[in-house]
Amino acid sequence: MLANAGVDFNVQMAGVDEDAVRTALQAEGAIPRDIADALAEHKARRVSAKAPEPLVIGCDQVLEFEGVSLSKSSARDEAAAQLRRLRGHTHSLLSAAVIYEAGAPVWRHVGKARLHMRAFSDMFLDDYLDRNWPAVQSSVGSYQIESEGIRLFSRIEGDYFSILGLPLLEVLTYLTQRGVLKE
């Protein structure tokens, strides 16, 4: 998304154990929004500690359903179970971005989108996963709205880019205000 928006950047893996951080935060009673924000901050902090000069953007996305944070499915049967749980209901995707500079946070935003999943049949679900697994394994809801996963939904409210995993418009606005991007 950043490349398509004309932003020059380098990717550095943060090396954060997301499952451990998520588990610890859930044990403390953190809400899904705060989990997304904390994961994004952990990533930005870790990279900024290695390279404090440039601005560092850390991002993470959490799926919230009935007040609970759901994780990516590691196996096809887990994805099917999660999609059965979500069908006919509304859930939210929370996409957090935190920007670090010189080892300290200077900006943060959590975008939110609400997705209304239609009540599809088990046959449709099996066929969908046959066609799209393992590609959707890397997606928190076991779907990608930019491809066939859009057919799982009856309505979507909110920012498209937040659904894809980055509150892009807000990040670009901040970078422009800071003078990193030209007007």
Q: How many Cβ atoms from other residues are within 10 Å of residue 96's Cβ?
A: 29
Q: Which one of the listed residues 60, 77, 122, 127 is annotated catalytic?
A: 60
Domain boundaries, the chain: 18-177
Residue 152: what pLDDT?
98
Residue 52: what pLDDT?
79
Q: Could you tell me which residues are beta bridge partners of residue 96?
A: 60, 110
Query: How much is the average pLDDT of 5-34?
Result: 94
> Exposed e or buried b for every residue in 147-159, given b needs 16+ CB within 10 A?
eebeebeeebebb
Query: How much is the average pLDDT of 140-163?
Result: 96
Query: In terms of C-beta density within 10 A (0-12 exposed, 13-18 middle, 19 or more buried), how is residue 46 classed?
Result: middle
Helix axes 32-50, 18-27, angle to 10 degrees: 140
At the top level of CATH, which class does the domain 18-177 belong to? alpha beta
* 8 included as an active-site residue: no
Q: Could you tell me which residues are beta bridge partners of residue 100?
A: 56, 105
Residue 109: what pLDDT?
98
Query: How much is the average pLDDT of 34-47?
Result: 97
Residue 126 pLDDT greater than 90, yes or no: yes
Q: Could you tell me which residues are beta bridge partners of residue 93?
A: 63, 113
Give the pTM.
0.93
Query: How much is the average pLDDT of 107-128?
Result: 98
Residue 51 pLDDT greater than 90, yes or no: no
Residue 29 pLDDT greater than 90, yes or no: yes
Query: How much is the average pLDDT of 129-155?
Result: 96
Question: Where are any strands of DSSP class E within 119-181?
Answer: 153-158
18-27, 46-55, 127-136, 139-148: segment of lowest average pLDDT: 46-55
Q: What is the mean pLDDT of the chain?
A: 96
Q: Are 59 and 100 within 8 A, CB to CB?
A: no
Residue 168: what pLDDT?
98
CA 72/CA 144 separation, integer angstroms: 12
Query: How much is the average pLDDT of 48-73?
Result: 92
What's the N-to-C CA distance of the chain in angstroms? 19
- Side by side, the strands of the sheet bearing 104-117 are 68-70, 56-65, 90-101, 104-117, 153-158
What radius of gyration do the chain's Cα atoms show? 17
Q: 47: which 2 tokens?
A: 């990279």
